[in-house]
Structure 1
């Protein structure tokens, strides 16, 4: 049975089974010829016999010239498809005249129909097309993968800046990540800003990204970002999935609400009052509401852009006035209450980051931070001086013991226990307490195993700092270096052998050693000279002495941390970048 439709007889003879598709090459070099066929006469049609199918039998008729097609049973005209299928086959040129130049169809039965060379050319053309398509797909996928890697690097840099990552290691971290991801880039870090240039050596072009992001400490999110970074460089997750998780992490709300942060701030001020500023039990009690008030004002300043410019001066002025009013009753120590109430805004960590950046040869950002910390300390000293001066002018009473950092004038040895200076044994309670509340203030999760390590390492650092200070009195840089070495050594050992984040567990221990070096002997000397009516040059000179003390403490911390880092990572690692997540 023949197929319905147009059927060319020269392709559908009974002896030949022609397949549609790619022509089969001949086995040898002989030519394939077309079977003989009738040629077309443009003046008349030469009809051939047609086979009609209908009913239960078949009837053969031979229509002549001018005879219409025959009818089927029932008087219906037969379909034209059955009539036209056996008409003579021919080839037309564009002028309706058969020519030898008409492509594709030979005019004589001795002409070539298809040769092996033509088949090879067709195959080569298809192969070139397939290779070109494959190259286009590869280029598209390759470019898409490069863009995804670049987006991950930018998001990682933004996350580290947002969550308070180590600024002096940020450039090394980005370069190490780019080497693992096989990306050519160069970067430059400035405070709250990073420039990343993605280079394309094939085209000689570059794409520069400017990332501007302010930061604040968030230990839990910083640890989560570090885990994502670790998975990517060790091929445990794809760059695309890690980018999505970084987006979710940056949009995630804080771990603790505002009321919890206010409570943590009050407990930080109360717990450090006795161990670092020689405050009595009564001084610790009054420091709690002042610490809570500091967090309230800090949260308000974060929402008010204009007030944030004068936040430090106004807070220092207010707390100095309150501390002076309390000290006038002879039950409270002015220096202990004032210093413990502003302990969370002291510029110790700022100048520490500046010293670390200078030691890492990041000259621009390091110099900016050091200069800012000096001016910042003058802001605080100026605010404290205004508060105490305002109280003395209003009450017309002198304020004794403004520079009495040991509280020997207000604390009597024969007085009640709650007014005496506590002994060193109380440090076994207050040091772990301050470490705990400070870690929670920086959003450390209380459900993670790192929280006990934070408290233990911080306590270890304070012990080394305290007993070294007893052997080297007046040399805060040496005691800070020994304490920082102990903290850095234990933290980096934990990070190397337990695949943890050394920076997360050492930050509390480093911050613990800063308040005593910042407040004692510096800020309150500035306050006493300013309040006694000395010239501004002399008072500001004492303020710069505070800055020099800040620099000395930070240099000691930098040296101790650097030595501990070299001891743990003597050989540089390609993926760790020599401890890129360490201070």
Structure 2
């Protein structure tokens, strides 16, 4: 291997690694995938990935050429469209359908690609996702409506954060503050009996880091200690920022509009929960930028995860039900990699959103600080811990029983 070829290979690997990091790939998957690509391209490599950095060392067979690179990166956000296309591109390179220079050029095109759904569809998705989550948490039809309206307010802040770095740094607490303040205003003038804390939680659920906590624990279980610890602590800090913003917004709203008295609405029919799961999944399609051809798989993963958990919880403790749901989801995700030759993450993320107890973590924080519960949940802290552990264990067992053929 001459020096010119080595430079071309290491540039491609570095660009591929930064792009996969940008799309929210967990450390253990990113490192394993890059090692596969490096072996195919005929070089040796070592990678260390954390949520905010990527370190790369690449060397030729006899150490004629060596290269090291360490980059400070922003934490990645889920972009399943770009992740899927990047994986397809890497597959074409590994099967000889593309040259290295062609693959490098197409990587740049993928990186500049906008969302396939546009801002209007994405904004609508924020509204229906937050409304659906309110139903999933046992809210009434009116609380679903207000959660959807406030979900659009959250999307306004998301759009603003894309244009302003200063807004991006404070987006979570400020968005939670305005949502909480508006919820108090709606309660005073339009719906006096609404469940304000539940409406606030549903409105900011996109920011609640239950998924990040689960990914962090999965990284810790795979011995990626630095990345796992950093991801867990970042998720906890995001949770604290959200809660502080909501707490300050409610305090301000109550001082301006007066406190409200929550009047529980009549219980909704059981089918509304299943409707909420379906609508939530469709809303997440645009938020996660899932490709249209993967929508049936995404819907199937959410329904399978929720139904298997609900069925198992009828006969077993809830934490064991979450294990069954995660195990079923893991089997489906690994089957997806074999059938579609695409990353398991594309399917797994939609199902995990239904399963992860991020909302329960927020509820527990509210109970700890205020001493009040806005939903009836017993042994909350124990349940959150057991559900997190059950999710990680379910995914690990699924990989043992039906292993995936792809690192991503």
TM-score, reference length from structure 1? 0.64
Alpha-carbon distance in structure 1 between the residues aligned to 2:27 and 2:61: 29
Alpha-carbon distance in structure 2 between the residues aligned to 1:292 and 1:563: 39
Matched, 1:344 2:178: no
Task: For residue 154 of structure 1, report the CA deviation from its aligned partner.
Answer: 1.1
Contact 1:316 1:380 in 2 (8 A): yes
Unaligned runs of 5+ in 1: 1-138, 402-408, 412-419, 532-544, 571-575
Alpha-carbon distance in structure 1 between the residues aligned to 2:285 and 2:277: 12
Alpha-carbon distance in structure 2 between the residues aligned to 1:309 and 1:251: 23
Where does residue 561 of structure 1 map in the other structure? 395
Contact 2:209 2:358 in 1 (8 A): no
Where does residue 313 of structure 2 map in the other structure? 469
Matched, 1:357 2:199: no
- The 5-angstrom pairing of residues 130-169 of structure 1 reads 142-169=2-29
Give per-residue Cα distances to partners, 1:212-254, cap 9 Å, x unaligned: 4432222111111111111222333222211111111112222
Alpha-carbon distance in structure 2 between the residues aligned to 1:145 and 1:516: 47
Greater RCO, 1 or 2 (C-alpha within 8 Å, sep 6+)? 2
Contact 1:330 1:410 in 2 (8 A): no
Matched, 1:484 2:326: yes
Matched, 1:284 2:111: no
Contact 1:187 1:195 in 2 (8 A): yes
Q: Residues 188 and 225 from structure 1, CA distance in 2 versus in 1: closer, same or farther, beyond 3 angstroms?
A: same
Where does residue 380 of structure 1 map in the other structure? 242
Contact 2:43 2:61 in 1 (8 A): no
- The 5-angstrom pairing of residues 347-496 of structure 1 reads 347-397=209-259, 399-400=260-261, 409-411=263-265, 420-446=266-292, 448=293, 450-472=294-316, 475=318, 477-496=319-338
Q: Residues 334 and 298 from structure 1, CA distance in 2 versus in 1: closer, same or farther, beyond 3 angstroms?
A: same
Unaligned runs of 5+ in 2: 374-378
Task: For residue 520 of structure 1, report the CA deviation from its aligned partner.
Answer: 6.6
Where does residue 504 of structure 1 map in the other structure? 346
Contact 1:192 1:212 in 2 (8 A): yes
Task: For residue 191 of structure 1, report the CA deviation from its aligned partner.
Answer: 1.2
Contact 2:185 2:257 in 1 (8 A): no
Contact 1:188 1:194 in 2 (8 A): yes
Contact 1:167 1:353 in 2 (8 A): no
Give per-residue Cα distances to partners, 1:333-364, cap 9 Å, x unaligned: 22331111011110112111211110111101
- The 5-angstrom pairing of residues 12-27 of structure 1 reads none
- Which residue of 59, 75, 89 corresponds with 1:199? 59
Contact 1:468 1:479 in 2 (8 A): yes
Task: For residue 410 of structure 1, report the CA deviation from its aligned partner.
Answer: 2.3
RMSD of the alignment, in Å? 2.5
Higher Rg of the two aligned structures: 1
TM-score, reference length from structure 2? 0.89
Secondary structure at 1:482 match in 2: helix
Give aligned pairs, total: 400
Contact 1:348 1:550 in 2 (8 A): no
Where does residue 525 of structure 1 map in the other structure? 367
Give per-residue Cα distances to partners, 1:503-549, cap 9 Å, x unaligned: 21221111122256535741431463399xxxxxxxxxxxxx98876
Give per-residue Cα distances to partners, 1:190-225, cap 9 Å, x unaligned: 213211111245456631123444322221111111
Where does residue 405 of structure 1 map in the other structure? none
Q: Residues 192 and 547 from structure 1, CA distance in 2 versus in 1: closer, same or farther, beyond 3 angstroms?
A: farther
Alpha-carbon distance in structure 1 between the residues aligned to 2:38 and 2:126: 39
Task: For residue 175 of structure 1, report the CA deviation from its aligned partner.
Answer: 1.1
Where does residue 131 of structure 2 map in the other structure? 270
Alpha-carbon distance in structure 2 between the residues aligned to 1:286 and 1:498: 39
Secondary structure at 1:344 match in 2: coil
Contact 2:50 2:227 in 1 (8 A): yes
Alpha-carbon distance in structure 1 between the residues aligned to 2:93 and 2:149: 45
Alpha-carbon distance in structure 2 between the residues aligned to 1:164 and 1:287: 27
Give per-residue Cα distances to partners, 1:482-502, cap 9 Å, x unaligned: 211111101201212443332
Moved more, 490-499 or 295-304: 490-499
- Which residue of 235, 247, 259 corresponds with 2:96? 235
Alpha-carbon distance in structure 2 between the residues aligned to 1:515 and 1:327: 27
Alpha-carbon distance in structure 1 between the residues aligned to 2:290 and 2:303: 17
- Which residue of 169, 190, 194 corresponds with 2:50? 190
Q: Residues 383 and 549 from structure 1, CA distance in 2 versus in 1: closer, same or farther, beyond 3 angstroms?
A: farther
